[in-house]
Structure 1
Amino acid sequence: MNRITIGFLLLLTAIPVLSLEIVITQGNDKASKIAVVPFGTPDGVKDMAPIVEFDLHRSGQFAPIAEEDMLSLPQTPNEVNFRDWRVLGTDYVVIGQVEKEEDTLTVTFYAFDVSLERKLFSGKVTGLSSQHRAIAHMVADKVFESITDIPGAFSTKVMYVLVEGRGTETPSWRLEVADSDGQNAQRVLESLYPIMSPTWAPDGETVAYVSFESGRSNIIVHEIYTGKRDVVAAFEGTNSSPEFSPDGKHLAMSLSRDGNPEIYVMEVASRKFKRITTHRAIDTEPVWSLDGKEIVFTSDRSGNPQIYRINVETLKSKRLSFQGDYNARPRILPDGEHMLFVHRINRTYHIVWSPLDNSGNNIVLTKNVLDESPSVAPNGSMIIFATKEESKGTLGIVSVDGQVEFRLPSSEGDVQEPAWSPFLSTTLTFQQL
């Protein structure tokens, strides 16, 4: 069993909490029609097809056909009648069969292109009965990739901060991790003091965040699989905005130990610090370029918050954002050529998409009153962000083209500061057929 899986079993599954529940608020009229037929399933095993269907739906790329509208319910390839699906205007069909042997589940699945009347992909996923949802997410990942040529990210996790009792005498903060669909939420840490800016290491085994449990801001590195916590920055002043480098060997952050907040980089192994920015302004919210050679960050050196980039070796910087008087919290997309950030329009805050080279206009992806803290799925297809709904903090997810948006509200408190995990290792086995 690999270390990331051990971590979630030992630390997380011991403290399950209420899951987030997705509510789709905006759909894509141009989505491909897909039929995920109920899988052949033995007695006592829940059908995985609804999980696969919902994963594909929330990607924004697919519009599922309801089971009651299906003209047939094939479970094997020779039972697929393409004429039945053409009548319904179906683009793709997914079928599957589940087998159970003692405590092991194996699902064999097939994806078909209706217009071409051919099989696109087939495979077999095996795991424990307790990994029922994980198996379904992997099936959805493989189906998604077979159609879009983009790796699926349904098997990833999202981390967030849940605040209970805000404004009362006894508020509490919880750092939680859930599946990408908000299910299987597990508690990583609970504190009577604020937790901010959680971020993942690229191996998915370690996270970093800001904690105020000592009475002031500290940056803590937390190993999920052991629960080990190390304070890596506890200087006088502010210690904020940790962000791991793409290779996990360095941690960028904003520190005011020498006066005003500046960007620093810490070598994780040696704990040696290097100052990256030197300016009388506030420099904060660093994020690494994909090659690890540059850091993109927020600074008010122009008089208001704007986005800049700096080379970590030459320390030469350049302004990236010019539209509007407030642009902050940048995030680099996996293509390395575009970024997301928070942009203010008429006193409201939205997540926007923009080329890194400033060669085009911003594209507004969200249209709520207060959207902040964007984080990108590792395949670049979806963005999770924090927003407000009836004065309560909640999470939203929007497709990278802005066509599909949905909410992950919590019944327990205010949800904020989301962070999407990298691709994670797994104990499931997959075989392409």
Structure 2
Amino acid sequence: MKNIVVFLVALYSTMFAVNSFASDGDLAIEITKGVDEPTPVAVVPFSWDGSSALPEDIARIVSADLGRTGLFAMMERKNMLSFPARRDQVFFRDWRVSNTEFLVIGRQQPAANGELVVEFELYDVLKEQPLLAERVTGRRDNMRGIAHYISDMIYEKLTGIRGAFSTRIVYVTAHAFGEGKVRYRLKMADADGARPITIREQSEPIMSPTWSRDATKLAYVSFETGKPRIYIQHLATGKRERLPSFRGLNGAPAWSPDGTKLALVLSKDGNPEIYIQDLRSPRLIRVTHHYGIDTEPTWSPDGQSLIFTSDRGGQPQIYRIHLPTRQLERITYEGNYNSRGRLTLDGRFLAMVHRGNDNVFRIAVQDLKTGRLDVLTDTFLDESPTIAPNGSIILYATQKGVKGVLGGVTLDGNVRFILPSASGDVREPAWSPYLQ
């Protein structure tokens, strides 16, 4: 078992093509493929009635949010014929001439205690009708949060799908410095990669971060003691606690939907198996019993089943076990390797790492209702898929040259993007649930 742990540390170190960088920076999304005919949208700069300059440009952030989806063609400000802030200033003919289908205008006003009031409207230019009119109040130091919230409302009105711009992502970065030294950081950022903060920094690897369903806690694996151990991080208070640890491997934590349990992988009995740890008591339940390697558990939305990876059939494939009955079924059959399964919140689609006949690791999605499997990416060494809470996008780790970066792809494969980091290699993404 010591050899397995040493192998994991070595494997994790080689996952990062570490380079030396001076400072940490935001992720920046770069669209690499969008839909063929994106919908033209214009977000006009919001007017401001205050006397001092604002720290952020809400309209620009909203425009960037919508543009990054690949679904919308955002008009550049230099091409706008006017900058209306109210309905009586809008001349729809001018916007039709520029082929704009939807128009967003807004106003910003100062409020008491450093707060900001933002009013905005979304218009259907062709019908000359308002589709949305809202008033939002928030702090000036959280203008990006206000902007993401507005983007969520506009996106849902235009697509019928709840927006996920206000959610967060966590990921792990590795930075080389000095002679063979590496610093690992567990970081959290907005869904667009902005406003990154470091949650944990250390010289030993960090792996497998995962969110609780209420988005208040993280569980992850740390090698800070020289052995893999599972920790829980409380985001609001900064409190950190270590789960009871066992001989050998302690890894791959996954929160139950109700937040009272963690599925995890232990090798305390000599072989990696799936267990469930009740966080309210010392109770530990063994779920799988097989001489093969069982790993990477994830819960079904109703909490009645676990999806996991196993090589019990000779090659890694994804299985499902029904917890009340222990009934086991194999889910994946296409390809010679399928692992790291992650479900959409409705339980219908399963994202995974897939290797086909070309022996290249890519991200694929399987419709569990029809059985259809679609390969979504054409990048290299793709791994660690995580799904946006609205089920629209899969975020994953990949390679760009010799550098580890994050990539994204919609579930239909029509939109793809890359999130290169200004510094360091990036791995192990996890997308938050909706923030309560």
Query: Post-superposition shift, 1:25?
Result: 1.8
How far, CA to CA, are the matches of 2:166 and 2:179 in structure 1?
A: 37
Residue number in structure 1 paired with 2:368? 356
Q: Secondary structure at the match of 2:142?
A: helix
Matches within 5 A, 1:335-346: 335-345=346-356, 346=358
Query: Post-superposition shift, 1:168?
Result: 4.8
1:239/1:167 Cα in 2 relative to 1: closer, same or farther (>3 Å)?
Answer: farther
How far, CA to CA, are the matches of 1:292 and 1:220 in structure 2?
A: 22
Q: Which amino acid aligns with 1:76?
A: R
CA contact (8 A) 1:59 1:382 kept: no
2:30 matches 1:20: no
Residue number in structure 2 paired with 1:68? 78
Q: Secondary structure at the match of 2:145?
A: helix
Query: Post-superposition shift, 1:233?
Result: 4.1
Residue number in structure 1 paired with 2:257? 246
How far, CA to CA, are the matches of 2:392 and 2:220 in structure 1?
A: 25
Residue number in structure 1 paired with 2:45? 38
Deviates more, 1:257-266 or 1:80-89: 80-89
1:11-58 residue CA offsets vs partner (Å, 9 max, x unmatched): xxxxx9522122222222232111111111244024211100011111
CA contact (8 A) 1:235 1:257 kept: yes
Residue number in structure 1 paired with 2:195? 184
1:226-256 residue CA offsets vs partner (Å, 9 max, x unmatched): 2222211421111111010111111111111
Q: Report the RMSD for the aligned CA atoms in angstroms.
A: 1.6
2:267 matches 1:260: no
How far, CA to CA, are the matches of 1:117 and 1:353 in structure 2?
A: 40
How far, CA to CA, are the matches of 1:116 and 1:293 in structure 2?
A: 48
Out of 292, 315, 334, the residue aligned to residue 281 of structure 1 is 292
CA contact (8 A) 2:341 2:350 kept: yes
Deviates more, 1:289-298 or 1:85-94: 85-94
Deviates more, 1:84-93 or 1:336-345: 84-93
Deviates more, 1:250-259 or 1:396-405: 396-405
2:283 matches 1:272: yes
How far, CA to CA, are the matches of 1:143 and 1:375 in structure 2?
A: 24
2:107 matches 1:97: yes
How far, CA to CA, are the matches of 1:243 and 1:353 in structure 2?
A: 20
Deviates more, 1:290-299 or 1:57-66: 57-66
1:345-368 residue CA offsets vs partner (Å, 9 max, x unmatched): 3121111111124x2431121110
How far, CA to CA, are the matches of 2:130 and 2:181 in structure 1?
A: 58
1:337-393 residue CA offsets vs partner (Å, 9 max, x unmatched): 111001013121111111124x24311211101111011111111111100111111
How far, CA to CA, are the matches of 1:113 and 1:277 in structure 2?
A: 55
2:373 matches 1:366: no
Q: Which amino acid aligns with 2:317?
A: Q
Matches within 5 A, 1:407-426: 407-425=418-436
Q: Which amino acid aligns with 1:368?
A: T
Residue number in structure 2 paired with 1:79? 89
Residue number in structure 1 paired with 2:308? 297
Residue number in structure 2 paired with 1:231? 242
Out of 173, 194, 212, the residue aligned to residue 223 of structure 2 is 212
2:405 matches 1:394: yes
Fraction of identical pairs, as percent:
45
CA contact (8 A) 2:24 2:424 kept: no
Residue number in structure 1 paired with 2:144? 133
How far, CA to CA, are the matches of 2:362 and 2:140 in structure 1?
A: 41
Query: Post-superposition shift, 1:334?
Result: 2.1
How far, CA to CA, are the matches of 1:142 and 1:164 in structure 2?
A: 37
Query: Post-superposition shift, 1:291?
Result: 0.5
2:95 matches 1:88: no
TM-score by length of 1: 0.91
Consecutive unaligned residues in structure 1, runs of 5 or more: 1-15, 426-433
How far, CA to CA, are the matches of 2:44 and 2:268 in structure 1?
A: 59
Consecutive unaligned residues in structure 2, runs of 5 or more: 1-22
Q: Which amino acid aligns with 1:302?
A: G
Residue number in structure 2 paired with 1:48? 58
1:167/1:264 Cα in 2 relative to 1: closer, same or farther (>3 Å)?
Answer: farther
How far, CA to CA, are the matches of 2:259 and 2:90 in structure 1?
A: 47
How far, CA to CA, are the matches of 2:63 and 2:142 in structure 1?
A: 17
Residue number in structure 1 paired with 2:181? 170
CA contact (8 A) 2:24 2:422 kept: no
TM-score by length of 2: 0.91
Figure out how many residues of one structure are paired with residues of the other and give that number. Answer: 409
1:407/1:40 Cα in 2 relative to 1: closer, same or farther (>3 Å)?
Answer: same
Residue number in structure 1 paired with 2:15? none
How far, CA to CA, are the matches of 1:363 and 1:283 in structure 2?
A: 24
Q: Secondary structure at the match of 1:197?
A: strand
1:29/1:38 Cα in 2 relative to 1: closer, same or farther (>3 Å)?
Answer: same
Query: Post-superposition shift, 1:157?
Result: 0.6
